[in-house]
Each structure stands twice: as structure tokens, then as C-alpha cells.
Amino acid sequence: MLLGVNIDHIAVLREARKINDPDPLDAIGLAIRAGADQITIHLREDRRHINEYDVERIIKHSTIPVNVECAVDPDIIEIIGDLKPHRVTFVPEKREEVTTEGGLNFDEPNFANLDKSVHYLKAREIETSFFIDPTKEAIRASKTIGVKWVELHTGSYANIFAMLYGNLRHTPHAIKELDIERSKLQKMLVKSVQDLQDAAEEADDYGLQVAAGHGLNYINVDAVSNIELIKELNIGQSIIARSVFTGFENAVKEMVTLLK
Ligand code: PXP
């Protein structure tokens, strides 16, 4: 299993003070030493963490592939197209969201915009990926447009897991819709893993490479990493959170060990 380490949250800490420390660029060498296979960053329209200066320097200095996530925004796509990362992952983006809430929507005009953007990047020899919910419709649309990868959104699995096995339901951040009987949550958890498994099979049948990510951590990652057809996980928040206590290199190493 390949690990893409999402380092956006290092920039979140920097932006808390609007200064130049910590610098996400400093994470690259440590991530590589710890066994990471890829660096993932998200250039958001509101630049709330990573900015184009980071993207440019990270692409220039990283000796492992850089996967840049972005919305279908012509200005951002032009910036990234010129910087030529290894891969671009298209994600839906809403200004008011705390993090990417769901997979891409393929209804028109989104389908046409995604199609145009993918072809723009392919012409620049940049790999493309779609962040999608684990559904047949999303996989078929991804195949039709012709991306190389799909990244399955594991947020729903992670939320159910956190409400079932963690203390989230006893905190101010409890997820209201999931504040239900444990027996129901247990069934939902099984179904969420089955959905990921089915989607991975469907994508593989179509010849798509399969990644997954969102909300994965040291406790919940097993069920997803055991799905053989998923080749890569992109993990960010939990690794950076652990880094606060154990250091970034140790935190990445621990995740690499779990994935083995
Ligand atoms: N993959 C994608 C496409 C994402 O948008 C994100 C969040 O930026 C991640 C993976 C990583 O999610 P997390 O920070 O919850 O591990």
C-alpha cells in the first residue's frame, strides 16, 4: 500500500499566525526518510493553507511524486498546469466547508468542466484523478472522462467509525445525523466498507487505478488498507495531529508501518 502524506495542516498552523513558520517544505525530506511514497497538497480557492508559492517550491524540491488537489477552477488549473506536478486530483470545494465533504458531482455543467480540465492537464502530461464517492455512477463518469486514478472518499466510513468506537459522540463535535443506536451504526460501518470494496472492484474492472482517503487515522485505517485493489491512501490530519506529540517523521513512520 502506497502512502501519500497530505501536509496541508502544516500550512494551517503557519496561517494561524500569518508568518513563515512552520514551512511545509521542511516536511518533504522527513516524509521521504519515514517511507512516504507521495506528497499531497490542496491548493484551495480561498488559500486557507497551501498557496501557490508552496506548490511551486514543493514540486521543485520533492524527489517523490507530488499530488495537487484542486477544484475545477480555470485560474487554479492554469497555475498548476504550468507547475507540472506528477498528479492533479480534482475535488469538490465549498468555501464554507471545514474540509472536503463529499465526492465530485458529475451533473452538467460539472461533467463538461471536468472533461475539459482533464484534457488540459493530460496535454501537459500530468496524471489526473477524481475524488469520488464510492458509487457506480461516479466510477463510470470517471472512466468516460478518462482519468487514470479515482480516489474513493472514505469520510463516511471514518465518521461512522468515530461515532461508534471513539468518544466523538460525547464531544461538542458529535455528528448529529450519526447520533443513533450503536447496532445501527455497526451495520452502517459494515456497509460503508462493502461500498468501498465494491467501488474498488468496479474501478479496477474499468482499468482505473484506485486510491482512497479522508478521515483515515491510526485506529480506523485497517479495514481500508485491507482492500487489496486500493493501491494508495492519502492521509493528512491524523498524521499532522500525531506529529504534535511524537514528531512528524515518527508519525509518518508509524503510519507506514501500519500500512505494511
Ligand atoms: N484525499 C483528499 C482528496 C482530500 O481532499 C483530503 C483532505 O484534504 C485527504 C485525502 C486527506 O484527508 P485527511 O486530512 O482527513 O486525512
Q: What is the CATH number of the domain that holds 122?
A: 3.20.20.70
Q: What separation in Å is there between the alpha carbon of 154 and the centre of ligand 1?
A: 9
**Which structural domain, as residue segments, surrounds residue 30?**
2-154+233-259
Give a yes or no: residue 73 inside a domain.
yes
Q: Is the CB of 236 under 6 A from ligand 1?
A: yes
How many domains does the chain divide into? 1
Give a yes or no: residue 173 inside a domain.
no
Give a yes or no: residue 47 inside a domain.
yes
Tell which one of 9, 90, 99, 258 to mutate to probe ligand 1, the residue whose CB is within 8 A of the most ligand atoms. 99
Give a yes or no: residue 203 inside a domain.
no
Q: What digits encode the pLDDT tens for the residues 195-248? A: 999 999 999 999 999 999 999 999 999 999 999 999 999 999 999 999 999 999
Q: Is the CB of 215 under 6 A from ligand 1?
A: yes
Tell which one of 6, 45, 173 to mutate to probe ligand 1, the residue whose CB is within 8 A of the most ligand atoms. 6
Q: What digits encode the pLDDT tens for the residues 148-180? A: 999 999 999 999 999 999 899 999 999 999 999
- 69 counts as catalytic: yes
Give a yes or no: residue 93 inside a domain.
yes
Q: What digits encode the pLDDT tens for the residues 30-43? A: 999 999 999 999 99
Residue 154 CB contacts under 8 Å (≥ 6 apart), including other chains = 196, 212, 213, 214, 215, 216, 224
Pairs from 114-122 (Cβ < 8 Å, separation ≥ 24): 114/72, 114/90, 114/145, 115/145, 117/72, 117/74, 117/77, 117/90, 118/90, 118/145, 118/146, 118/147, 120/77, 120/81, 121/77, 121/80, 121/81, 121/88, 122/146
- 42 counts as catalytic: yes
**Are 22 and 240 contacting, i.e. CB atoms less than 8 angstroms apart?**
no
Q: What is the pTM of this model?
A: 0.96
Give a yes or no: residue 82 inside a domain.
yes
pLDDT for position 95: 66
Atom of ligand 1 nearest to the CA of 131: 3
Give a yes or no: residue 44 inside a domain.
yes
Give a yes or no: residue 177 inside a domain.
no
